[in-house]
Amino acid sequence: MEQHDQRWIDELAGLGHAAVEPLAVGMEGAVYRLGGGLVAKVWGRRDERDLIRIKEFYDELAARGLSFATPRILRIHGSELGYCTIEEELAGTPLDRMAPSVDGDPGPRARDHVLDVLAELGSVIPSGGLRRLPVMDESVPFRDSGADWAGSLIALIHRRLSRFGPQLDAAVTDLPGKVEQVTRLLRAWGHGRDGLLHGDLITANILVDETLRPTAVLDFGFLTAPGDPAFDVAVTASIIDMYGPQHRRIEAAFDEAAVKRFGYPRELLLLYRAAYALITSNAYDPEGADGHFRWCAAMLERDDVVEVLDS
């Protein structure tokens, strides 16, 4: 979904929301302010079963007593247009507006708050509804009760490559060899207990108050799963400014702060970036003709990533 739809504005008005205000549009759908402390999210690719699982996820997460709020689905509404959810409107201003980046860099204060959010999510022990979400466009949960993190991640890589491998193979030197190396290293590294991964944490997804304290975190679902918190750190550091000319410098600053704070080996962060590239290369375009695909292919060719895979 790339734009607001007047038909949905009319649909929401028909539900009794007279002053519908378009707020935002993303890959998952569009968001509208309804007034009275409510928003509606129109979902582009989700069915009722998906939304029930997402509601259960949010209900479980709200019960964990985090220091920031997370979305709550109050109602699921279906029509011939598709599905929307009526949700509580969360307080705060997006971090990227409160701390505007300079050449893509959100700066040390904003970076610390992003790491605060990652640390808190990583401390959550995922159980119940927190383990039942699928990732991306899959229909079954990413982790079943008996699967470990590395095995689940490797299986996801192979499922994605079975669908989109030819496009990536044409863009990446020795893709089969790199997949074999990623698989070997994921099995060798292992990790401690699971935390909760957001999977798509950028500064626009963190709401803050006037002191930059996080008040809410949005947009779970794309790669939200139980897993190694280092994966979330690795991904976040790379996608904060994916396409800017200073993206490597900004990523390195996040890495330095994360290594100091959490003790993660930098080699592990690079390995997880390679895994992320294999998983998400065609997430937004099955034909691999978009910027995200090119970014993923470039990640798999980076000297520092290749060096880790060859180790």
The 3-state DSSP composition of the chain as helix, strand, coil percent (nearest 5) reads: 50, 15, 35
The answer, yes or no, to whether residue 155 has pLDDT greater than 90, is yes
pLDDT band, very low/low/confident/very high, at 26 (cuts 50, 70, 90): confident
Domains for the chain: give ranges and CATH numbers: 6-88 (3.30.200.20), 93-309 (3.90.1200.10)
pLDDT in tens, 51-91: 999 999 999 999 999 999 999 999 999 999 999 999 999 99
Nearest to 295 by CA among 226, 223, 233, 241: 241
Model pLDDT for residues 112-134, shown as the tens digit of each residue? 999 999 999 999 999 999 999 99
pTM of the predicted structure, to 2 decimals: 0.93
Number of neighbours of residue 284 by Cβ within 10 angstroms: 14
Contacts of 27 (CB under 8 A, 6+ apart): 1, 44, 222, 284
